[in-house]
Chains A and B, each alone.
Chain A
Amino acid sequence: MTELFGIPLAALYGQLVLGLVNGSFYAMLSLGLAVIFGMLNIINFAHGALYMAGAMLAWMGLQYLGVGYWWMLLLSPLAVGVIGIVIERLLLQWLYKLDHLYGLLMTFGLALIMEGLFRDSYGVAGQPYPIPEGLGGALNLGFMMLPKYRAWVIVASLAICFLTWYMIEKTRLGAYLRAATENPRLTQAFGINVPLMVMLTYGFGVGLAGLAGVLAAPATQVGPLMGSNLIIVVFAVVVIGGMGSILGTVVTGLGLGLIEGLAKVFWPEVSATVVFIIMAIVLMLRPSGLFGRQQ
Chain B
Amino acid sequence: MSATEYLRVSDLHAFYGESHVLHGMDFSVRRGECVSLLGRNGAGRSTTLRALMGLTGRRTGSIMVNGREVVGLSPHKIAQLGVGYCPEERGIYAGLSCEENLLLPPRVSSGGMSVDELYAMFPNLKERRHSQGTRLSGGEQQMLAMARILRTGARLLLLDEISEGLAPVIVQKLAEIIVELKKRDYTIVLVEQNFRFAAPLADRMCIVEHGQVVAEIARHELAEKQPLLQQYLGV
Binding site for B on A (CB under 8 A): 172, 175-176, 178-179, 181-183, 185-195
Contacts and interface: CB of A to CB of B under 8 A. Distances in A.
Nearest to A176: B104
A161 B74 CA distance: 34
Interface of B: 53-55, 74-76, 78-80, 85, 87, 91, 93-96, 100, 103-106, 108, 148-149, 152
A191 B93 contact: no
Contacts of A181: 95
B77 to A, nearest CB: 8
24 contacts: A172-B103, A175-B96, A175-B104, A176-B104, A179-B95, A182-B94, A183-B91, A185-B55, A186-B55, A187-B104, A188-B74, A188-B76, A189-B55, A190-B104, A190-B105, A190-B106, A191-B79, A191-B80, A191-B152, A192-B76, A192-B105, A192-B106, A193-B76, A194-B76
Contacts of A179: 93, 95-96, 104
Contact of A182 (B85, B93, B149): B93
B105 A191 contact: yes
A186 B76 contact: no
A178 B85 contact: no
Contacts of A189: 53-55, 75-76, 78-79, 85, 87
A186 B91 CA distance: 7
A193 B105 CA distance: 11
A183 B91 CA distance: 8
A45 to B, nearest CB: 26
A190 B84 CA distance: 7
A128 to B, nearest CB: 44
A181 B74 CA distance: 18
Nearest to A172: B103
By CB atoms of chain A within 10 A, which of B95, B100, B148 has the most?
A: B95
B52 to A, nearest CB: 10
A179 B149 CA distance: 15
A181 B148 CA distance: 19
Contact of B96 (A178, A188, A195): A178
Given A186-B87, A188-B74, 16 more contacts: A175-B96, A175-B104, A179-B93, A179-B95, A182-B93, A182-B95, A185-B75, A188-B75, A189-B54, A189-B75, A189-B79, A190-B105, A190-B106, A190-B148, A192-B104, A192-B106
In order of increasing CB-CB distance, the 3 nearest A-B pairs are A191-B79, A190-B105, A178-B95
A179 B148 CA distance: 13
Contacts of A191: 76, 79-80, 105-106, 108, 152
A183 B93 contact: yes
A246 to B, nearest CB: 11
Nearest to B148: A190
Interface centre among B54, B106, B148 (most CB of A within 10 A): B106
Contacts of B106: 190-192
